[in-house]
Amino acid sequence: MSHDEFEPEDPLGLVGMVLPGEPGQLEAMAECLVEEYVRLGWDEPRLMTLFASPMFLATHRIYQQMGEAAVRALIGRTRVKWSAARFHDPAPRPQPPRNCSLTLAGGQEAALVARLEETNG
């Protein structure tokens, strides 16, 4: 058998099929897919193209079985969930004071200024 010739009886040929699922699996798969793309930064219109277009078999099947409203609601919930997680800072860092002065003892201010002027040039 040559590597370039197609053989219809090839046991290693790719075969795709749809398997029946249990209740709730479709919704779980849809949630995982939406979450993946939301975390990549996709917005709702871009995500809806994945679901509405028959070119994308898995997401379009979800779209047909769940309906447009359910898919949009799932996208909205997932975007809210991940935007909150992404931008939430549980422990804000303290900011240094904006105007702070340095007081040096014994007239060292002039020496420090002279040294800074030498360094900066």
Written as tens digits, the pLDDT of the chain (121 aa) is 456 676 777 777 777 766 677 888 889 999 999 999 999 989 999 999 999 999 998 899 999 999 999 999 999 999 999 886 555 555 666 666 666 566 666 667 777 777 778 877 6
Cβ-based neighbours of 72, under 8 Å, separated by 6 or more: 44, 48
pLDDT at residue 112, as a whole number: 72
Per-residue b/e over 19-50, b at no fewer than 16 CB within 10 Å?
eeeeeeeeeeebeebbbebbeeebeeeebbeb
